[in-house]
Amino acid sequence: MKKSCLVYILFMLFAGILNAQYKFEAGDLTKIIRAIGTYDQSTSGSVQVDLKQPGTGIVWDFSNLNMGNVIQFEYTFEKINNNGNPYFPEANYVFTENDMPHSGWSAITYVKLDNNRLSVLGKKMIDGGNSSQSRHGSDYYYPLPLQYGTTWHSVRYDTLSLWDVIENQRYFNKVDATGKLKLPSGEYDCLRIRTSIVQMDGSYMGLKYYFLSKDYVLLAIVTSQPNDTTYNFTNASGVEYYTGFTGIGSGEVQKVRPETYSIFQNYPNPFNPSTTIRINIPEVTYGQLCVYNIRGDLIKVLFQGRMLGGEHKAVWDGTDQYGNKVSAGIYIYKFTSPKFTNSMRMVLLK
């Protein structure tokens, strides 16, 4: 019994050491270029959370939060060259946030990334046909790599207004914890940044917690109620967390966004009993993927609805809409969307 207890203690100590060494580096951002992540954001104004105490080896459970009403967003991270925006000429990457479903609202954050620093240069907001920009100054940044115990002070001092709003804020930041975050989409190793926010005119103070993963970058943001500076507050004014990558129905979607629409020859072909159809989508769209017989009669709708940009795969098992096996022969699969329509033939064998 003593031996098993000792083994357990040693295991926990070793796990804690590994967790304390968890690092978030520049390469963790560049490997998700053109990735598309989806997020849920609470709009209730009050979400009960358990943030735990700072430290290593912490387990946070956000898998069953009472979020109330939520809105959904998708985020992408992309490299830009000579971006043409005179306000942010030094930017080399952008984060883009779009609402879901798309109503014309977007937020584009311009950043400069190198091995030692991620500088947040400014933001462009688009709402329908209207847009506005703000430049945040040169001292709004994140040092890299980030690891347990990293501390820094940054300042956002806008020199352009965002729809006539000037934000002048100080941020006191610390990576105060590492561990595992449980979300409805899964469990993720991560580190946590605690950010104390002070409005320079004294009108606001508050806290934000950012949970970062090496594989998915931003996992969650938890925001305190206005002027609540208690580190382990339990009543959050807002919670936003990662929900995953979205594909066609029960098919698959890669994390990398293609640059053009395309449909590929099914594989295998000829086939029996099933085959895979692959489609590239460069943007959010509404699409329909259907199977027809050679006379043009509809056999089966494989997918119909909203699609995120990505490489999608769908499987046809040789059945019709009612689950009945169809006869051998030539069939046509057709993808239809507002900007792209194409079809190809495939052969089902007995």
Which pLDDT score, from 0 to 100, does residue 1 have?
A: 41
Taking CA atoms, 122 is separated from 33, 44, 219, 227, in Å, by: 19, 28, 22, 25
Band of the pLDDT at 8, cuts 50, 70, 90?
very low
Looking at per-residue pLDDT, the higher value among 174 and 161 belongs to 174
Stated pTM of the model? 0.69
Alpha helices in 239-309 (DSSP H): none
Which pLDDT score, from 0 to 100, does residue 200 have?
A: 83
Which pLDDT score, from 0 to 100, does residue 215 have?
A: 78
Band of the pLDDT at 3, cuts 50, 70, 90?
very low
The percent of residues in the chain predicted with pLDDT above 90, rounded, is 51
Which pLDDT score, from 0 to 100, does residue 97 have?
A: 86
Looking at per-residue pLDDT, the higher value among 64 and 251 belongs to 64
pLDDT, mean of residues 154-165 = 72
Distance CA 7, CA 239 (A): 38
DSSP 326: P
Distance CA 141, CA 341 (A): 44
pLDDT tens for each residue of 168-182: 899 999 999 999 999
Check whether 247 has a pLDDT greater than 70. Answer: no
Q: Output the average pLDDT for the chain.
A: 84
pLDDT tens for each residue of 45-70: 999 999 999 999 999 999 999 999 99
pLDDT, mean of residues 94-109 = 79
| Residue 326 exposure: Cα atoms within 13 Å on the Cβ side | 25
Band of the pLDDT at 253, cuts 50, 70, 90?
very low
**54-63, 85-94, 217-226, range with the lowest pLDDT:** 85-94
Question: CB under 8 Å to 118, separation ≥6 — which residues?
Answer: 26, 29, 111, 112, 141, 142, 144
**Using an 8 Å Cβ cutoff, are 191 and 173 in contact?**
no
Residue 225: what residue type?
Answer: Q
pLDDT tens for each residue of 13-48: 444 444 557 899 998 887 776 666 778 899 999 999
Which pLDDT score, from 0 to 100, does residue 102 have?
A: 59
Task: With residue 4 as reference, give the H or E element that holds it.
Answer: helix 2-20
Which pLDDT score, from 0 to 100, does residue 165 have?
A: 60
pLDDT, mean of residues 183-206 = 90
How does strand 298-307 pair with strand 285-293?
antiparallel
Check whether 233 has a pLDDT greater than 90. Answer: yes
- Around Cβ 120, how many Cβ atoms within 10 Å? 19
Band of the pLDDT at 163, cuts 50, 70, 90?
low
